[in-house]
Amino acid sequence: MFFDTKAVHAGITPDPATGSIVPPIYQTATYILEEVGKDKGFDYTRSSNPTRATLENSLAILEGGKYGISFSSGMASVDAILKLLSSGDHVVSSNDVYGGVFRLFNEVLSRYGLSFTFVNTSEPSAVEEAIRPNTKLIWLETPTNPLLQITDIDLISKIAKAHDILLGVDSTFATPYLLRPLEWEVDIVMHSTTKYLSGHNQIIGGILITNSEELNGKLKFLQKTIGAVSSPFDCWLTLLGLKTLSLRMARHSSNGLEVAQFLADHPKVERVIYPGLQSHPQHEIAKRQMKAFSGMISFDLKGGFDAGKTLMNSVQLCALAESLGAVESMITHPASMTHADVPEDIRVARGLTNGLVRISVGIEDVRDIMADLEQALDKV
């Protein structure tokens, strides 16, 4: 079965009670047992829920994995992975990660005895050199947020296997339509379902997918024990979003490439970061491991922060908003919004300047998106 068909049908069966083609929402906290010690597969929604189970199964199939574990947010998913570790363990992480992940690692988990080394994971030698005897996890984003660095998953997977280290990949920007890290024997794939998977700015959620029965058991235990689970209604909305995932990602990607080319040719733009452009340092890797290049673009304007501020305050179609991956085009200033918790000296050293603008290109007519950016650039 091809991906476009899976997006519509994977894990979905007609409701046996009514024949409903849309999975029902099991909006319940608990379930009646048939007798002591005998249930119908569900006993309490924190432990499991039929709507959540349908979403977990559907996303596992789309990712090419065996097991899905759904959480209340992408950050809750990341936190669950880190709770597989113990005090004294060490993590090698992409240095260009979402600001919330940096905050979780540096300001929360470091107080519980975990240590972190942040490196440019697009350079495999940097990952190799950062490994210590107590390294238990390599954590990747690809493409990264917001500098869109691309990591060669195959090379990093081989490094992780050689050292018997767990490898986790945040593939939110790519989605299973563009990239499936499990094909390179990654241990765990994470997505913020808030973004492209649901696609309509209507829910908060996260998912972990693995082929390991052992990891699935541990993560299901954490899901039940901590209770940061996605609600039945949020799962149901995500299931509806998945049905158009392939259509939306194809449009996001084609629009993204055209907007990136438009910005690259604009005289007021200093640099454009987009994996689909030949100017991107990991363009060939992106071509090799991704089906297309998604709808995320980062760029610097000539004139720095003031120019970027003027642009973002002047857009009319593009929404000045946090988040990404929805049908609407959204524009963000990472230094003051998504990555505000990353110290300025660290941000700038990594290339995340105060003037960097990130745009999540939506599925509107690309001519309207470019016209909006053109009129905003005219004011810069």
* 211-263 pLDDT, tens digit each: 999 999 999 999 999 999 999 999 999 999 999 999 999 999 999 999 999 99
Residue 339 and residue 218 share a domain: no
In the residue annotation, 347 being an active-site residue is answered as: no
Pick the catalytic residue from 79, 89, 170, 234: 170
Least Cα distance to 294 among 189, 199, 224, 166 occurs for 199
Half-sphere exposure of 206 (CA within 13 A, CB side): 21
Q: What is the pLDDT of residue 34?
A: 87
C-alpha 360/C-alpha 172 separation (Å) is: 13
CATH number of the structural domain spanning residue 331: 3.90.1150.10
Q: Are 359 and 257 in contact (CB under 8 A)?
A: no
24: domain CATH number? Answer: 3.40.640.10
d(CA 188, CA 137): 11
pLDDT at 57: 98
187 is catalytic: no
- Within 10 angstroms of residue 353's Cβ, the number of other Cβ atoms is 20
Residues 48, 179 share a domain: yes
* pLDDT at residue 38 in the model: 86
Domain count of the fold of the chain? 2
Is 52 noted as a catalytic residue in this protein? no
Residue with tokens 């993560």: 219
- Please identify, among 218, 242, 266, the residue that sits at the C-terminal boundary of a domain: 242
Indicate the SS3 state at residue 349: helix
Is the domain of 266 the same as that of 179? no
For residues 26 and 137, state if they share a domain.
yes
Structure-block tokens of residue 227: 């209770």
CA distances from residue 142 to 7, 15, 88, 169, 290 in whole angstroms, order as listed: 22, 37, 27, 7, 10
Whether residue 278 is found in the same domain as residue 210: no
Q: Pick the catalytic residue from 46, 218, 271, 287.
A: 46
- Long-range CB contacts (within 8 A, 24+) of 216-220: 216/66, 216/67, 216/69, 218/84, 219/67, 219/69, 219/80, 219/81, 219/84, 219/188, 220/69
The amino acid present at 287, given as its one-letter code, is: K
Give me the catalytic one of 195, 251, 291, 350.
195
Claim to verify: residue 92 and residue 231 sit in the same structural domain: yes
Tell me what pLDDT residue 343 has: 78
Q: For residue 48, what are its two tokens?
A: 């499991």
- Contact between 139 and 189 (Cβ < 8 Å): no
Mark whether 365 is an active-site residue: no
For residue 196, report the phi and psi dihedrals to the nearest 5 degrees: -60, -35
- In 10 A of CB 361, how many CB atoms? 29
| Domain boundary, last residue among 180, 213, 242 | 242
Cα-Cα end-to-end distance for the chain:
49
**Annotated active-site residue in 26, 67, 98, 274:** 98
Ranges of residues in the chain whose predicted pLDDT is under 50: none
Q: Are residues 141 and 276 in the same domain?
A: no
β-strand partners of 155: none
Largest CA distance in the chain: 73
Q: 170: which DSSP letter? A: E
Range of the structural domain that residue 212 is part of: 3-242
Residue type, 276: G
Residues 165 and 101 in one domain: yes
Query: Among residues 199, 218, 242, which one ends one of the domains?
Result: 242
- Pick from 42, 109, 148, 151: nearest CA to 360: 148
Q: Based on the domain organization, do 180 and 319 belong to the same domain?
A: no
